[in-house]
Each structure stands twice: as structure tokens, then as C-alpha cells.
Structure 1
Amino acid sequence: MGVLNQKLQQLSENGQGSAGRALDRLPNLVQNSLAKALGYPYDYPALDSFTKCLMAAQLKQGKSGFIGADVERSRQAFETQIRSITHKSTHVQRVEDIRLPLQSGSILARHYHPAPHKKLPMIVFYHGGGFVVGSIDTHDEVCRLIAVHAKAQVISVEYPLAPEVAPQQLIQSCEDALAWVYQNRRQFKILKNRIAVAGDSAGGNISAVLAQRTANANYAPQAQWLIYPAVDFKSRHPSFFAYKEGLVLTSSDIDHVTDYYVTRHQMALDDPLISPINGQFKKLAPAYVITAGHDVLHDEGKIYANKLRQHGSKVYYQDYEDQTHGFINLTLVSSKAKKNVIEMSKSFRKFWDKVS
């Protein structure tokens, strides 16, 4: 009982730091007991017990969701949270920050190359964060794992964020980055016809939108990797109501994102630029779609995968049933999250090789 109280104290003080890594090593039964002792009020029996503890600790500290009324505070909190769990980054042979001189304005990107002397495919990665928070730093470890285990180059794009920019500007910047990578394919020694787009959450939305917008362009991606993507701002599916509280992404977060990214810029919720589920599905790149079982966005991601398949795209769909939205950002404290990202990266590469 004394050990349990000690863990409770550590977790309450630092939910996702060194205590998080210690917590990860405990048996599931102990993790569930900790969540109960912390007073976690939600009935998610199939939720990963480690995640349940983290959510319980956050609620105990009065924290809920990750995007609030103060944009700058939300951004700083997300960056601080990721820094607090960063312990030892995965080694990649070459990691370099570069500036992309785009028509829409110069932006920062980070290039990861696991084997600099080899020709490898390229994954253009757009980070998640509700179009409002997040950066190449918050998704650094994820991109490192992808580069190493997908055996591919990765360029992580620091696109401009809402609400300062409108969706048209944000998407144009991301499209220009994709076009720039294509134009510089020889300089990067990219394998012929092997450029993909990828991203989580908002980044999944961006990737899906770009796959549609560039379908007939010479720089269209040859594959799209959508990790729990936001693809439908207008509809509310059963998973939205089932998982809207007590997890990483809440209904309040969705409301704020909708305000910052859509409403303030006078966009219609069903505009394909916002909701690619309403876009055109002809001649789209093969898609590897990931959903988390305990996620407000679960159903729309699954529906999108089915719609892609119905329109003739090659699709691989996988649902991580015991995970919640944002699990790829927990790889530094959760062995299961890390295992999942490694598995996804290897599986995506196999899928991509097969459909190329």
C-alpha cells in the first residue's frame, strides 16, 4: 500500500515525466488500481491501463484537453509537455533543419535520413495539434521512429498555424512544401516515384486534402499515411459521443479547433478543404489509415478508409482498439505506444512497397 501511495504522489506531481516511465513498467493490474485510486471517473474498460493512469493524473491536476481559449498558452503547454517526457531520442544517422523557400513564404522543416548514402523513399510529414498547436519539435521522436523503422527519409514540415492563417494559406503552404520536395527529388536522392504524405490528426487531414488536391499534378504523392485523421468537421458520429470526455482529445478541443480553423475564417464545415470526406475520390494514392479505438475521431477515420476503398483506392486499415487519440506522442513514456509506432512504420513500408 505504501508503494501505491508513493506512485500516486509521483504521478500527481509529474504525470508524464520520469514517473510516467516508471509507471509504464508496472503490471496492468497495478496501473488500473492507480487510476481508480486517483478517482478516474470514466468507464473505459478496454482503454490501455497506462493511458488511463495518465488521464487520471491530468484530471487530478485539473487539466482536461489540450487546446483552450488562450492559444499561446495552449501552444506553450503542449511544447512543455513533450519536453518534459523527452528522455533519450531515437538515433537517426542524419537529422538536419532546413528552410524551404516556398512561393507562399519560407518555412522551416526537419529532414531525417537513416542511411544518407542510400537512395530511399521520402515521407513528407505534417504534425498534428488541431491546426493550432504542435511543431517539428513536438513530433521529433515520432519522425525519428518512422525514419528508422520505415527505412525512409522524412521531412517534417513546420506549416503556419491557425487562427493566424486561414485554411487556404495553411494548405497552400503544405502543398508548396510537397511540390518543393518533388522538385528537389534528385538532390535528396529519393527513389523514383516514392514520395508519400503522412500525418496525425490535423496532419492526417492535411495529407488527405493534399492527396485530393494534387491527384492530377506531377507532384501528387504516391501514398498517403493517415494517422487518426480529422476528415469530417460537420458530422457527429457515435465515437464522438462515446469518447468526448476524459481522454487526450475532448469535445471542448473540437469546439476550439472548429472556431480557430473554420468559423473565424468563414469556411463551411463541409468544404472539402476542411472536410476531405466531402472531396473528390478519383485516382487517389493508396492509403494506410490508422484509427484509435478510444477516440472522438475514430468513426470518421474508419468511414474515410471505407470510402477510399469504395472509390477504387488501395487501402490498408488498422484500428488500435485500446489506444486513444494522440498515442504516437507517448512513445517516450509508453512502451506500448512505441511498439505501435514501430509496427505501423514497418507495416506502412510493406504496404507502400506492395502497391508501388
Structure 2
Amino acid sequence: MSPQVQAVALRAILQLPQPLRRLIAGAPIRLDGNELALDAQLLLRLQRMIGHDGLSAPTPEIARAAMVQSNKLMTFNRLGGVSVGERRIPTPSGELAARLYRPAEVAGPGPLLIFYHGGGFVVGDIETHDDACRFLARQAGIRVLSVDYRLAPEHRFPAAFDDALAAFRFAADNAEALGTTPESIAVGGDSAGGNLAAVVSYATRSEEIRPAFQLLVYPAVDATRRRRSRELFGRGFLLTDADIDWFMANYVPEVGERGDHRLSVLLAEDLTGLPPAYVVTAGFDPLRDEGEAYVQRLKESGVPVIDRRFEDLIHGFMNLRQAGGRFQEAMVEIASTLRAGLALRAGRLQDQP
């Protein structure tokens, strides 16, 4: 079946009445006190039917191509109302591609979210996360700068961290040209991108210019320990246990380096002074427990935190928004909370003498 036919068939199935979608998806899946959303279960079932199970592959090139193809299947329309411009970010290791999103109604200076895409530091790019960035920009009413950082194994740890930090500093130095101010720049991302947002926040916590806010969507924050959620959800829920091992083997092959705070920020001794955070986890995600352990560490360190577990969703749901249903609902909530968090942060900064 050609990709075009697959896309048409997928869209038709997603629009079927609920009883038919349940029939295709199978009996409800209940685990650890939660029931998987029908929308998520249906997509997982369809994935397996076309031979997709997990995110890793025999080679990084094959895995990257598979993610691109999967993204095309899930992107039915380009979201309008957002202007998009290509940018280049200079770094000590060369230029990075970037993409700046601006909602049509936003003209003057305002908040900027630097977005780092997910993909285990091995797959993904600014195109695979184009819909998520368009949606965040439009729904939250902010500019978004998506960064195409270097990927492993061609560029291993700490290359992605170095690029993420360089992108933040570039944005701070060029804030006016990007339509913002240095004090109004937030960082965010999903999965590996959530990790990069967290470690950039940690690396700059004592600097004069640091992120105003951090959006961490099902972030990877500890590469040294297997928690209970990885045992529960490590197979059959998109991101697998084998995928996580494969990603780490490509990005940080030296096991002894995996406790470095530039990767495992959960293990950092002192998390005080970090910017306010909005941490999102998914109930059927192998990374759930480490994300929620990070929430607890932040709270214990006096960092303002908004934490939200979408109990019925899976890892990677940001890229499934156009499937509608629970995925769309979750993204609306994330964008609305981000907007409120940035507005609250801006108000507090204005109140300071």
C-alpha cells in the first residue's frame, strides 16, 4: 500500500463512529489503574497492522526515514494563521538550521519559546515537529524558534546539549531581531527535546540571562536507572524499552557518562534557582516515572512547577495532534497552560524592582 493510500485510509478510519473504532482497536487496555484512550489504542493497532512497532531500526538512517514517513501519515493539513521563516544559528561547531513561527495576530515584541524536538537524540528534525510548533505558536499566541540540533551517532553526547545551549544564547543575544527580549525567552521540547530544555535551564541557572520558563513534555531526565513505568509500558506503547536502549547506545555509548548532569539532570545535586516549569507526562509512557521524579525534585528545591499527567495517553502524543480526539484536547491544554504560565511569569518580572 502506497503512503498516499495509507494516509487516506488512516484518516477515514479515524473518522469512523466510536463503536467501529472500538471494534478495530480491540477491548479496552487497562494498566496501572488507567485506561488507554481509544484514540491512542486505535493508532497503536493501526501502526502494528502496517508493520510499525517502536522507533528504533537497524540503522539511524532507516529510523529517521520511518519517523518522517510516520509524520507525513499523521499530518493531514498545514495549520494556517502562522508565518514561518527559516533562520541560521551560528555555533562553534557550525551553523544550525532553525525555523521561526509567528502567529498572524502577534506584531509587537512578546515571549519566545525555543523548541527542541524529540527523537531520542537520533531521529526527528524541525520538519517532523512542524505541526506541534505551529500549534503552540498559534494557540499560545507566542513566537516559537525550532532548533535543528545535531543528531547521534554522527554527533554524540554532548553535541545536542552544546547546540541547545548555543541556540539559547544566540536567541538572548539577538532577542530584538527575533521579536522578543532576553528576559522573555522560554525553552521547551518533548522527550529528548524536553531533556535539552531542562539541561539548558540547569546550565544557565546562575547566569544573568536564563530561561524565563521551561516546558518539559514527557522529558527524559535520567539515563542511569530503570523505573517502574519502563517495566510496565516498555512494549506496545510506541516508545519501547528496546528503543530507549538503542537511543542511548547511539547518543552516549559510554555507560559511565550517562550520569552527567548535561544528560541526567535529575541527578544534579542542587536544582535551586531554576526557572518555573510546566512538566507534562503520559500515563502509558516508559518515561513517566522519571519525569514525575523530576517534578518532585523541583518542588523540593523551591522551583515553581505545574505538573500534569495525561493518564490515558502515550509517549509521542504531541506529534499525533491531527488525529484529533484526546490528542487535540491534550495539545490545547498544553498550549493554554504555556500561555498562562508565560503571562504569569511576565507579570512577576514586571513587578520586581
- Asked if these proteins are the same fold (TM beyond 0.5), I'd say yes
Task: For residue 322 of structure 2, give the secondary structure of its aligned residue in structure 1.
Answer: coil
Cα shift at 1:237: 1.3
Aligned 8 A contact 1:69 1:256 in 2: no
TM-score where L is the length of structure 1: 0.90
Cα shift at 1:191: 4.4
Out of 136-145 and 82-91, give the one that drifted further. 82-91
Q: 2:81 aligns with which of 73, 89, 92?
A: 92
**For the structure 1 residues 185 and 69, does the alpha-carbon distance in structure 2 shift closer, same or farther, using more than 3 Å as the test?**
same
Q: How does 1:4-23 map to 2 (within 5 A)?
A: 14=6, 17-23=7-13
**Structure 2, unaligned runs of 5 or more:** 347-353
Out of 108-117 and 318-327, give the one that drifted further. 108-117
Q: Distance in 2 between matches of 1:156 and 1:92?
A: 17
Which residue of 1 is the match for residue 271 of structure 2? 281
Task: For residue 120 of structure 1, give the secondary structure of its aligned residue in structure 2.
Answer: coil
Out of 64-73 and 51-60, give the one that drifted further. 51-60
Task: For residue 332 of structure 1, give the secondary structure of its aligned residue in structure 2.
Answer: helix
Cα shift at 1:219: 3.0
Percent of pairs with identical residues:
33
The residue type paired with residue 75 of structure 2 is T
Does residue 161 of structure 2 align to residue 171 of structure 1?
A: yes
Which residue of 1 is the match for residue 100 of structure 2? 111
1:89-132 CA deviation, whole Å, 9 max, x = no partner? 11133201111122331010000011452211000000000100
Q: Distance in 2 between matches of 1:129 and 1:75?
A: 9
Aligned 8 A contact 2:183 2:210 in 1: no
Kindly report the root-mean-square deviation, in angstroms, between the aligned alpha carbons of the 2 structures: 2.1
Q: 2:134 aligns with which of 144, 148, 152?
A: 144
Q: Distance in 2 between matches of 1:25 and 1:316?
A: 33
Task: For residue 322 of structure 1, give the secondary structure of its aligned residue in structure 2.
Answer: strand
Q: Distance in 1 between matches of 2:16 and 2:51?
A: 25
The residue type paired with residue 93 of structure 1 is V
Cα shift at 1:192: 5.8
**For the structure 1 residues 10 and 53, does the alpha-carbon distance in structure 2 shift closer, same or farther, using more than 3 Å as the test?**
farther
Q: Distance in 1 between matches of 2:280 and 2:213?
A: 14
1:200-235 CA deviation, whole Å, 9 max, x = no partner? 000000111111011122331011000000111111
Which residue of 1 is the match for residue 196 of structure 2? 206
**Structure 1, unaligned runs of 5 or more:** 1-8
What is the count of residue pairs matched by the alignment? 341
Does residue 310 of structure 2 align to residue 324 of structure 1?
A: no
Does residue 251 of structure 2 align to residue 261 of structure 1?
A: yes
1:230-258 CA deviation, whole Å, 9 max, x = no partner? 11111111111111111110011011011
Q: Distance in 2 between matches of 1:93 and 1:75?
A: 27
Q: Distance in 2 between matches of 1:274 and 1:191?
A: 28
Which residue of 2 is the match for residue 72 of structure 1? 61
Which residue of 1 is the match for residue 351 of structure 2? none
Which residue of 2 is the match for residue 25 of structure 1? 15
Which residue of 1 is the match for residue 350 of structure 2? none
Which residue of 1 is the match for residue 282 of structure 2? 292
Aligned 8 A contact 2:183 2:209 in 1: no
Q: Distance in 2 between matches of 1:33 and 1:51?
A: 14
Does residue 181 of structure 2 align to residue 227 of structure 1?
A: no
Q: Distance in 1 between matches of 2:310 and 2:82?
A: 30
Q: 1:128 aligns with which of 118, 122, 127?
A: 118
The residue type paired with residue 185 of structure 2 is I
